[in-house]
Amino acid sequence: MIFIDDVRANEVMDSRGNPTVQATVSLSDGTVATAIVPSGASTGKREALELRDGGDRYMGKGVLTACANVNEKISEALLGLSPYNQAEVDITMKTLDGTNNYGEMGANAVLGVSMAVARAAAKSLNMPLYRYLGGANAVTLPVPMFNIINGGEHANNSVDFQEYMIMPVGFDTFSDGLQAVAEIYQNLKKIIDAMGESTAVGDEGGFAPNLKSNEEPVQVIMEAIEKAGYKAGEQIVLALDVAASELINDEGLYELKSENRAITSAELVDYYADLCAKYPIKSIEDGLSEDDWEGWRILTEKLADTVQLVGDDLFVTNVSILAEGIEKDIANSILIKPNQIGTVSETMQTIRLAQRNGYTCVMSHRSGESEDTFIADFAVAMNTG
């Protein structure tokens, strides 16, 4: 029987120059696999805990404690277990941690090991990771969402909304869609430069110009689509990640600083409805605060028939919170970020609940990423297209 022979972790750097956890799992047949954990900038309050060291080193963002937890505690608990029983591996780590948010071991420690075990198991069987995780049912390539203008917590500019994205929905192949988006992106750069604005980029690679309102990025993107020779609304549609939890103030109003006003949930929903009527916006992520469930109800009633309403901070990939949202008919889609919940198994459980209830699932990176490609395989494995 093949078993887990060794588990180790060390610090590596993410795309923002902060430390993160790299886990390495070795099997008794000589298979070795690694995984690197991402990190978010705008995070939901109910996310699993990312364990950081504090202190002066790396401005408090070191992960030596999380790595030590892997090397000293998690390793001991997993030695001898089968790598092919992902649920057993993940439950063992959850039991070892003993909290409901991985507050002892750290979700960054646990997830790194969880992903590395899955990758090692697939490698040992000479299977692609997507096929190992998804089996014969892994048949769908996702429609990608490309973040081309950054604002909010992802950029040091005047735009309130965090992400402005485009989706190549009108193409037969992924590669054709990718080509279209690349051409739109390059045209967008020329347009922003001609406006006299900076073409510097934010945390996620989108441009971060100082624009006059939250609608102006949409207008600029529409111009770029036209200049690139594509049809907005047919070949290319738009998506927003508002990250509204970052906008709400102590009075429960949403502060749109670029427009010098603070508005209610209902007014913000009306604002979205107006934007969606004027432009081909087909997806809005975190349109209301994670705590504003009444606002989410209003948003869902008004736009759910025509727009994908994605809960990120709202659901934090948590099966229990998602179940409550389904019961209350809140949103119609969930963002999937494995590091919000902590393990591969728990992420799969959340996806399956969403799919059974007609919610779409959007597999997502974090703003602090690495060269790890796990979620690309995961998206195909779980048909989150």
- Residues 289 and 295 sit within 8 Å (Cβ to Cβ): yes
Q: Coil, helix or strand for 159?
A: coil
Going from the C-alpha of 55 to that of each of 61, 105, 244, 359, the distances in angstroms are: 8, 18, 30, 42
**Token duo for residue 241:** 């990640």
315: closest CA among 298, 337, 295, 300?
337
DSSP assignments along 31-68, one per residue: -EEEEE--B-SS--TTSPPPP---SSGGGGT--HHHHH
- Crossing angle for the helix pair 374-381 and 107-124, nearest 10 degrees? 70
The residues annotated with a catalytic role in the active site are 204, 337
Residue 382 to residue 173: CA distance in whole angstroms: 19
**Token duo for residue 147:** 């973040």
- Strand runs labelled E in the chain: 4-13, 19-27, 32-36, 146-150, 163-168, 236-241, 254-256, 261-263, 281-285, 308-311, 333-336, 360-363
Residue 321 to residue 350: CA distance in whole angstroms: 10
Residue 226 to residue 229: CA distance in whole angstroms: 5
DSSP assignments along 233-287, one per residue: TTTEEEEEE--GGGTB-TTS-EEEGGGTEEE-HHHHHHHHHHHHHHS-EEEEES-
**Token duo for residue 109:** 């420690």
Tokens 């193409």 locate to 171
- Crossing angle for the helix pair 107-124 and 86-97, nearest 10 degrees? 160
Q: What angle do CA 320, 304, 270 make, to 5 degrees?
A: 115
